Structure 1
Amino acid sequence: MARQFFVGGNLKMNPDTVAAKVALIKAINVADLDPTTELVISPPTIYLLPLKDILRKDAKIAAQNCYFKDSGAFTGEISPAQLADAEIPFVILGHSERRTLFHETSEIVATKTRAALDKGISVILCIGETLAQREAGETAKVNEAQLEPVIDLLKESDWSKIVVAYEPVWAIGTGKVATSQQAQDTQKDIRAFLSKAVSPAVAESTRIIYGGSVNGSNCKELAKLPDVDGFLVGGASLKPEFVDIVNSNKV
């Protein structure tokens, strides 16, 4: 079956002014974008609502994180219930920066994923290995270990609201990019694992996207790979070349 191409722009904690963010959204709004690509923009939490109101209607807004409780004494957190109430349709969970800097375990990521899905929010679920793990030949082992707690908490039908983002940690923000062969082989392995651990139907329909220093120069080659269904873009989402990335699957 054909999987719709998906591009997410993860702005992270950038840029640092309202004016810069508005200018970024306005540039996206006037761009000639491939209508067959699903586009999601993920700004910092404080800007979710104002940018949602001005973003073009054929694109969507995503939160960069959420907690697993709907309310309570959790200072600094945002809940799935709040995102749902604000009509934010996507959330990024399990990003390597959350795992490494904020010590989120795969079990916590899985709990957050379940909580988001229960509120009707689709999840961009990030997984990926470090350079040491890749060099030790542990890439598949690491990705499977990060997926397993999620698989344990999900029903088969839940996977229609999951986009898996494979982001090799060694390639995020470093300028290093997995070769086309590395990206294809790893994402093919992830799909094979989903087939075995969930079902062949889920493996075939679930979009697996690549993230890791994707830019206007390498996106076309990566987009041609049979198991790369799009991109989660960091730094390049702040630059004019982001339009080229969104259009990288255009025939």
Structure 2
Amino acid sequence: MPGKRATAPAHAATLAVDDLSVHYGGVCAVRSIDFSIAPGESVGIIGANGAGKTSTLKALMGLVPRSGGRITLGERDLGKVPARDMVRHGIGYVPEGRHVFPGLPVEKNLLLGAYARRWDDETRATLAEVHELFPVLGEMGTRLAGALSGGQQQMLAIGRALMARPRILLLDEPSMGLSPKLVSGILDVLLRLREEGLSLLLVEQNAKLTFGATSHCLVMENGEVAMTGSAQELSRDERVRRIYLGL
């Protein structure tokens, strides 16, 4: 398809996170973290269970209350934007566990991802590109989402998020429960999206996937950013290799 792809972001913007904190009652899940994602940049967050990775994504989406900090996308302050409106401001979200609508057909799941857009030629082009990216979704358009395999549901969750044509895509554990072959397929998709200029924030326990799909990474421990650097640098770090790569 000539020209700019219909899944690419219409307008680029930098996501900036400053001094973000999240508390659940008296427990601090995220403690004063800072990072930014430039247009077209891909950033990964790795860490053990309970490190604060998912809480960070949910705080960005407004799904959990923030106890401190500021989040901006371009010139817009997202601090008071409700979760239901985040997609209108360019934030796409692929949650942990996929959370597709099991009782609805695949095609209807995809179309729900475009609820904030008009149904016009541009949106139709986005749907066609999602089908190109994940051919199985086009082939199974009438099948109920709940009847898909785990890998197919992950494709559907990513495709649904892309239907909104986000400026930045947040992905929470997209490799969870998938075979090595399917994980490799997800990596190929993320690399393609990255090449097309979509900004990515990837939360993963699979460090190999994270280092392969991103240019810059944060390592979180106990709600704090313990290390930061390029994916290439961290993949060679002795401590990271021992703890997260099992080397």
Normalised to the residue count of structure 1, the TM-score between the two structures is 0.40
Normalised to the residue count of structure 2, the TM-score between the two structures is 0.40
